[in-house]
Amino acid sequence: MRCIAVCQTELLIRMLDEALASSFEVVEFLVESKPLARKLHDAGLSVFPGDPHRTDTYLKADVTPATCVIVEDTGKRGMRRTLEAIRDAGAALVYVVGIGCGDAHKHEEELRAFFPEVNFLPMGDLFGQPLLIEFSRSLTRLKVQQYQRFFSDADRVVILLHNDPDPDAMASGLALRNVLRRTKQTAVIAAQQGATRPENIRMQNLLDIHVEDITPDQLPGFDRIAMVDVQPHYFGDAFHRVDLVIDHHPEQPGYSAVFKDIRSNYGSTSTILTEHLRAVDANISERTATAMLYAIKSDTLFFNRQANRVDLEAFSYLYPLADATMIRKMEGAEITMERLEYVLKAKQNGRMVEQVFCSFIGASPREDFIPYVADFYLQLEDVKWTIVAGIVNDSLVISVRNLGYGRNAGEFVRKYFADVPPRAPDRRQASRESVTQGHACRSVRCEGSRRNR
């Protein structure tokens, strides 16, 4: 394909020549100033001088509807005549690159009114994104190098996860260990309460991830304490100061951390850690990449909830490094005989009124049966809301899910259960606000642990 660029600025000409040479068979520049044309010609560029306002300039240059024509918008009045001449010569693929002279926006609007078929590309948009990505990568690199140094002289490091660690917590543990260039002997991944959900246990087994059980009195035995996918407030009053916190949940007050990286607009902690690993050019093993990919997929419910460009970017970076078959195996763990039992119980005891499915499943040995059942019935045709309750130990647990983009289920729970007093800190459980398939939902323990994870 041929490209003709109508430009008067040397810098832009040289930049376009660099950028387009590999994608177009021919890149030629129409330059008004003869001295500039000569200079660029001597530098080896394909340049011809001509009057950009005349149709025959383009006819001579053999412009066809299939020629890509790029026009530099210098903000001057002549632009309209230039674009008319190009249109009259039969060009159909016309791009105007605005270099932001004067009132660029107003100028662009005026041109758009006359030439609706022309594409406008402001320079700031073209260059801004890659520049910002570079800058933020450098900032991340700085931060990572700082905490790497701070952890480097420690004998024993603990990476603490929340209770009943989910894929994101475990993957983040592996990833941080990788960033810190440590082994499982020198950086222990630990939780006060191990995984109980079948899919989490399956992930642990398939990827051979060791999450050590730890009690609060063992913590002083470590030289450095890091937390991933969780912040110290979660553990009640146990921590006032930690060394490193990396999390994607909203930032909580009441603790101090030597280093922290909290990005609540990210879909997963693994996304943040992918950026950390990339920033320092770390090698990512297949196992770690698989865990992280699975984590991003499950925390964002495969990009249905709170996922953004960075999550997609991390996903596509990890994908070629990971074992996709392994991920399919881990996902298969979701349906178990035990869970089906509670699905059946819910059907026997449940009622469907209009688009709401409501059920009480009675005593349940584990909390995850309740949100699982709620998610299950949300898949039914015509069901828009599910409210499922059950009793776990001595707590009533209610899980509310709804389809739709608002956080309606969360609001429903806040409205009807916000007055339930919080539980004593020592009984605080892993609490979770989760959103299925882009839909808000929230499970509440009625006597009150705040469900805010």
Return residues touching Mn ion (CB under 5 A): 168, 229, 268-269, 299
- Alpha helix (H) residue ranges in 181-283: 198-207, 269-279
Least distance from Mn ion to the Cβ atom of residue 248, Å = 6
Q: Which of 310, 308, 269 is nearest to 292 (CA)?
A: 269
Closer CB to Mn ion, 299 or 368, in the complex: 299
Least distance from Mn ion to the Cβ atom of residue 271, Å = 9
| Helices 337-349 & 369-378 angle (0-180, nearest 10) | 70
Closer CB to Mn ion, 37 or 171, in the complex: 171
Q: Tell me how far apart the alpha carbons of residues 318 and 296 are, in angstroms, rounded to a whole number.
A: 10
Least distance from Mn ion to the Cβ atom of residue 249, Å = 7
Closer CB to Mn ion, 29 or 294, in the complex: 294
Closer CB to Mn ion, 178 or 298, in the complex: 298
Which pair of structure tokens corresponds to residue 301? 């419910």
Least distance from Mn ion to the Cβ atom of residue 342, Å = 25
Closer CB to Mn ion, 267 or 350, in the complex: 267
What b-and-e string marks burial along 345-374, b requiring 16 or more CB atoms within 10 Å of the CB? Answer: bbeeebeeeeeebbbbbeebebbbbbbbbb
Q: Tell me how far apart the alpha carbons of residues 214 and 413 are, in angstroms, rounded to a whole number.
A: 33
On the CB side of 447, how many CA atoms lie within 13 Å of its CA? 12
Which pair of structure tokens corresponds to residue 84? 């008319």
Between vectors from CA 74 to CA 69 and to CA 77, what angle results, nearest 5°? 100
Least distance from Mn ion to the Cβ atom of residue 167, Å = 8
Q: In sequence order, what E strands does 291-367 have?
A: 351-353, 356-363
Least distance from Mn ion to the Cβ atom of residue 228, Å = 9
Q: Tell me how far apart the alpha carbons of residues 313 and 268 are, in angstroms, rounded to a whole number.
A: 12
Closer CB to Mn ion, 345 or 442, in the complex: 442
Q: In sequence order, what E strands does 39-92 have?
A: 47-49, 68-73
Q: Tell me how far apart the alpha carbons of residues 231 and 226 are, in angstroms, rounded to a whole number.
A: 10
Closer CB to Mn ion, 284 or 430, in the complex: 430
Q: Tell me how far apart the alpha carbons of residues 94 and 335 are, in angstroms, rounded to a whole number.
A: 55
Q: Which of 389, 381, 383 is nearest to 402 (CA)?
A: 383
Residue with the shortest CB distance to Mn ion: 168
Least distance from Mn ion to the Cβ atom of residue 131, Å = 29
Q: Tell me how far apart the alpha carbons of residues 384 and 403 are, in angstroms, rounded to a whole number.
A: 5
Q: Is 27 helix (H, G, I), strand (E, B) or coil?
A: strand
Closer CB to Mn ion, 166 or 375, in the complex: 166
Closer CB to Mn ion, 219 or 301, in the complex: 301
How many of the other CB atoms lie within 10 Å of CB of 438? 16
Least distance from Mn ion to the Cβ atom of residue 282, Å = 21
Least distance from Mn ion to the Cβ atom of residue 417, Å = 23
Closer CB to Mn ion, 37 or 189, in the complex: 189
Least distance from Mn ion to the Cβ atom of residue 302, Å = 14
With residue 233 as reference, give the H or E element that holds it: none
Least distance from Mn ion to the Cβ atom of residue 267, Å = 8
Q: Tell me how far apart the alpha carbons of residues 220 and 238 are, in angstroms, rounded to a whole number.
A: 11
Identify the bridge partners of residue 26 per DSSP, sorted by sequence position.
2
* Cα dihedral 48→49→51→53 (10° resolution): 40
Closer CB to Mn ion, 98 or 267, in the complex: 267
Least distance from Mn ion to the Cβ atom of residue 364, Å = 24
Handedness of CA 305, 309, 311, 315 (dihedral sign): positive
Q: Is 160 helix (H, G, I), strand (E, B) or coil?
A: strand
Closer CB to Mn ion, 231 or 269, in the complex: 269
Per the CB < 8 A criterion, the answer to whether 106 and 79 are in contact is no
Q: Tell me how far apart the alpha carbons of residues 199 and 191 are, in angstroms, rounded to a whole number.
A: 17
